[in-house]
Chain A
Amino acid sequence: MKDSIYLAYRYLTYNRVRSLVLTFSVAIIIFLPVGLKRLISESEDQMLARANSTPLIAGKKGSPTDLVINTLYFQQERIETLTMEYAAILDETGFGYSIPVMSSYSARGFPIVGTSLDYFDFRDLSPESGRLFGVVGECVIGSNVARRLDLQADDSLISSPESFFDFAGVYPLKMDVVGVLGQSNTPDDDAIFVDVKTTWIIMGLGHGHQDLVQVYDPTIVLERSDSTVTAGAKLFMYNQIDPKNIDDFHFHGDINSYPITSIIFIPESQKASALLRGRIESGEIDNQVVVPTLVVDNLLQSIFRIKQIFNSVFVIVGLAVSLIFGLVITLSLRLRKDELYTMFTIGSGKRKIAQIIGMELLLLVVTSALISGIMYYITGFFIDEFINAFVI
């Protein structure tokens, strides 16, 4: 037996290019379905975990999938907004409490998520360094944002303008980074969190400027009466909020009428959740409320369908590779006709020859399985990043 293994090993190392090609082909064929299965099941677990930990999401009537994707994974699809007042309406039902979410803007490619401090308690997030935001204009960044943009507490970050060609539009806001959240392996790692009021300032609904009552520059003040001051476009608007100018920042109108993309609603109990859904579905309360688990489940059904297609492809590819493998072996046996005859003439029986060839195949398959095992193991280190980057 030992001599058969030795001869098989020597043969494989002598024909190393052919052996390597065969080994890696088989390894990839073993790894792909297993690796994909892991990727899909981990994605499914992570997506479901995020959805399961979010009881209800309320938003404007429209696509529930877009609403959930925007709220849970901060994929900033253009969804219709509802007003902040709606959060108060839900709170007044007494069924639980609301967490507003405004996810429409970004900074250097990462989503800016406007919310309240309740979000951090709800998601069990805490700063690894620094603190949570305390005043408007401050932001807390996820661990991946900090790493990729090389930011830390006390740095600053500028919001991206909606359009580079809208010169008269909203000025970007320079935000102070006051904390970096600990790694959570969720989309929170890739988000920039601000108070929802800060997003309204980014939108231009709140702003800071010189006190018009005290400005007498005729190039700024166009008209002044006892009760009214009209200023021109020259009026200086602050693009950063600091202790010196924070008093000059203000919101126009009732902030309850300001937009938010969705509301995460935390009901007190299952019964409260059912009652609230009933009220909304009956039209007693406007807009829509969705159970994220159900929406994500539907989404996963699509992924399952893709998985089934992949599995079929792998079976076909596997069969093809097996055939090629068989062909390579048959051809190589034919090429090795003289070698096998020599072995036979020097006293090796047919059984021994079969054992040597069988051992060669076994070594190939075992090495391929080992390589695919190593690939599977290495995949585990990158799966969270892969899921966050390409799946969620």
Chain B
Amino acid sequence: MKQIFALLLILLTAGSCGSGVKKEQSANELATQITLAVTNYPLFFFTQAIAGDKSELIFPVPGDTDPAYFEPGADVVSTYQSAEIIFINGAGYESWIDKVSLPQRKIVNTTSKVSDQYIRERGMSHSHGPDGEHDHAETAFTTWLDQSIALEQAELIYETLKNAYPESSQIFDANFKALKEELTALDTQMEKAFSSWADASVSASHPVYQYLGAGYGLHIHSEHWEPGQKVDSDVVKAFIESLHKNDSQMMLWEGDPHPETRKLLEEADIKVVVFLPCGNKPGQGDYLTVMRQNLENLDSGDK
């Protein structure tokens, strides 16, 4: 009798071990089957952080191209079409999306829940034919620079993945919790870092810091100066003269300004801060390290 019980016990144990291995395999298989696509690096980072390494992540923008101005060709669109979910930034970031064919129900606009916070900027109006006057109003799109919006975007990615792949929800829960802590901490740090600049005159080399300004109480005036390119000294001087003398001055740059431009600005006591929007993959580090470096640049007043 004892022998029979022992045999049954062995069989049951072997059976349960076997099924356990099978379950683990199927979970892994499911995870590896996820093919996700994104349109900029912050979304790439958030999705990778939440979905983990098991998902295949499509981000076809070349490293030297700003994803905001990327125009995908038919081959890239085909790659996007193959994804199970396509996370887009929204807020007009993907200006090409109205000209391509993507499966609508696979597209998730990560800023859809914060669309009331979109910042609109009026463009040039024109009219021709019977349609009457119309303008191509643009929406500011570097939403993730406000870390509270970045968190909302990450949360929507998390919710979407959790709903789409409930079998992997435990992985998503743990990963999102860690990411949420990082983004919340970053938001607090930015709030603190920019608090002393709330009443100051802040300028930007390019109009990309609208959400940063709105999120952290900055009044930002934007120029259209390219980092690395020399700005005509008369233009820089005119810009300096236009600033209120009594304000403490700071200028945010998307990259290193030309040395001569930097010199002119610094001579006028304008603090030059390189604050990378991080729209594409950074050469080194990741989204969080770049944002932390931005804060360090802000503290030091230099690169």
Contact = CB atoms under 8 A, between A and B. Distances in A.
Interface of A: 87, 91, 97-98, 116-118, 121, 131-136, 138, 178, 195, 197, 206, 209, 212-213, 227-233, 235, 243, 246-247, 249-253, 255
Nearest to A229: B126
Given A138-B74, A209-B128, A228-B126, 5 more contacts: A116-B101, A117-B81, A213-B126, A229-B127, A231-B126
Given A97-B105, A116-B104, A134-B74, A249 B99 contact: yes
Interface stretch (B22-30, B129-137, B167-175, B203-211): B129-137
Interface string B104-124: 110000000000000000101
Contact of B124 (A121, A135, A228): A228
Nearest to B102: A117
Q: Is the interface of A mostly helix, strand, loop or mixed?
A: mixed
B191 to A, nearest CB: 34
Given A227-B125, A228-B125, A229-B126, A121 B103 contact: yes
Contact of A178 (B74, B128, B133): B74
Given A229-B124, A247-B71, A253-B134, A134 B100 contact: yes
B103 A116 contact: yes
Contacts of B133: 228, 230
Contact of A213 (B71, B104, B124, B127): B124
Contacts of A121: 103
Contacts of A231: 126-128
B77 interface: yes
17 contacts: A117-B103, A132-B101, A134-B81, A197-B98, A197-B101, A206-B98, A212-B124, A213-B126, A227-B124, A227-B135, A229-B125, A230-B126, A232-B128, A243-B73, A250-B98, A252-B131, A253-B134
Contact of B98 (A133, A212, A230, A251): A251
Contacts of B101: 116-117, 132-136, 138, 195, 197
B65 interface: no
Contacts of B135: 227
A138 B78 CA distance: 13
Contacts of A251: 98
A185 B93 CA distance: 42
Interface residues of B, number: 27
A378 to B, nearest CB: 42
Interface of B: 71, 73-75, 77-78, 81, 98-105, 122, 124-129, 131, 133-136
A118 B134 contact: no
B99 A135 contact: yes
Nearest to A201: B99
Nearest to B104: A116
Contacts of B100: 134-136, 195
A335 to B, nearest CB: 76
A212 B123 CA distance: 12
Nearest to A118: B103
A136 B72 CA distance: 12
B181 to A, nearest CB: 31
Nearest to B80: A134
Nearest to B75: A134
Contact of A250 (B103, B128, B136): B136
A268 to B, nearest CB: 12
B129 A118 contact: no
B133 to A, nearest CB: 7
B107 to A, nearest CB: 10
Contacts of A136: 98-101
Contacts of A133: 101
